Amino acid sequence: MVTYVIWDLGETLTTPPNGRMDTKPLTEYPEIELREHVLEVLELISHMGLKHAILSNTATSDSDVVRELLKRLQILDKFDYVYATKSELDLAIPEKPDSVVYHHVLEKLDIKAEEAVMIGNTWDTDIIGANRVGMHAIWLQNPEVSVREDFNEKVITPPWILPVWDVASVPQAIELIVGCSEEGDRE
């Protein structure tokens, strides 16, 4: 049974900083704002009885900085757990799609992989990483934010991967995943 939605941050929940990478702490970019429909979608998913967390690859921003950004954007209270890898400039630090970061978040949330849905805009990290550990995923395919470089990576189903074109479509995709998961549990 799905209990958590785990969100990517940049270009999924928020607009990117100028230059697209956080070469300084995310809190130092006043231009970062919530993407359209994010607040309504977070609230709708909460009303569905699901909880929220964040798992984001970042360059210079740690989890505390991301929490400060979420506080500025007035959505920090929506998330039970926030994890920023601070890894994009240091190859020695694990980041998505490495299973260790997914397992870290699942352990902190005290849930199994099949109890979570990962939502992100990058196939190679958000979606494939979630699939490898057994999490369902929703791929935000908006052409402005969607990234896919590896077209040869194989996926395993279930868990389910659903594409959406807009954040506003996420609740409906979650309902489909939850419905498939519950039907699988009954078999």
Question: pLDDT per residue over 137-182, tens digit each?
Answer: 999 986 665 666 666 777 777 788 899 999 999 999 999 998 876 6
* 115 phi-psi bin (left φ>0, alpha ψ -120 to 50, beta other): alpha
Name the pTM for this structure.
Answer: 0.90
Name the residue range of residue 8's domain: 4-186
Task: Report pLDDT digits (tens) over 23-76.
Answer: 999 999 999 999 999 999 999 999 999 999 999 999 999 999 999 999 999 999
Compute CA distances 178 → 4, 47, 55, whole Å.
11, 14, 21
Task: Report pLDDT digits (tens) over 85-102.
Answer: 998 878 899 999 999 999
* Tokens, residue 75: 């959505």
Q: What pLDDT sits at residue 136?
A: 96
SS3 36: coil
Task: Report pLDDT digits (tens) over 69-87.
Answer: 999 999 999 999 999 999 8
Please say whether the beta carbons of 139 and 121 come within 8 A: yes
CA 162 to chain CA centroid, nearest Å: 13
Q: At what angle do helices 38-47 and 170-186 cross, to 10 degrees?
A: 30
Q: What pLDDT sits at residue 152?
A: 73
Number of domains in the chain: 1
* 184 pLDDT higher than 80: no
Percent of the chain residues past pLDDT 90, beyond the cut: 73
Q: What pLDDT sits at residue 140?
A: 93
Compute CA distances 77 → 4, 40, 54, 74, 93, whole Å.
15, 14, 12, 8, 28
Q: What pLDDT sits at residue 144?
A: 62
* 187 pLDDT higher than 60: no
Q: What pLDDT sits at residue 59?
A: 92
> At 35, which CATH number?
3.40.50.1000
Q: What pLDDT sits at residue 143?
A: 65
